[in-house]
């Protein structure tokens, strides 16, 4: 398994940020700067809570975790953080 799918999702999110479409993610990132960030952060909070509940109930943990990771990637794209910066941070912590 490689990071290919994460990179693909990240790239799609960048494209939707830079070339607006009628998609959920594009619309989220096109709102007024403060409003867009607030909506993304709210969504991350919701997804984090759903991961906790899924873990406690022993159900849907994988899909809820994917939602949380997706919205975290969305935030990184919105804030202009490159994916390789995240990977570098993980490498520093491992070292």
Residue 77, domain CATH = 1.10.287.1080
Are the beta carbons of 79 and 13 closer than 8 angstroms?
A: no
SS3 at position 69 = helix
Domain tally for the chain?
Answer: 1
pLDDT in tens, 27-52: 999 877 789 999 999 999 999 999 99
Question: What is the pLDDT at residue 1?
Answer: 61
Question: What is the pLDDT at residue 93?
Answer: 96
Q: What residues make up the domain containing 41?
A: 4-94
C-alpha distances (whole Å) from 55 to each of 45, 46, 74 are 16, 14, 23
Q: What is the pTM of this model?
A: 0.92
Residues 8-29: what's their mean pLDDT?
A: 94
**pLDDT > 90? residue 55:** yes
* DSSP single-letter state for residue 19: S
């Amino acid at each position: 398994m490689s990071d290919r799918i994460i990179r693909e999702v990240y790239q799609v999110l960048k494209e939707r940020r830079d070339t607006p479409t009628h998609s959920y993610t594009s619309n989220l990132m096109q709102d007024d700067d403060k409003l867009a960030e607030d909506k993304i952060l709210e969504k991350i909070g919701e997804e984090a809570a759903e991961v906790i509940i899924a873990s406690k109930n022993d159900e849907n943990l994988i899909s809820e975790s994917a939602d949380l990771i997706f919205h975290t990637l969305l935030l990184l794209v919105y804030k202009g953080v490159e994916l390789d910066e995240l990977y570098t941070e993980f490498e520093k912590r491992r070292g």
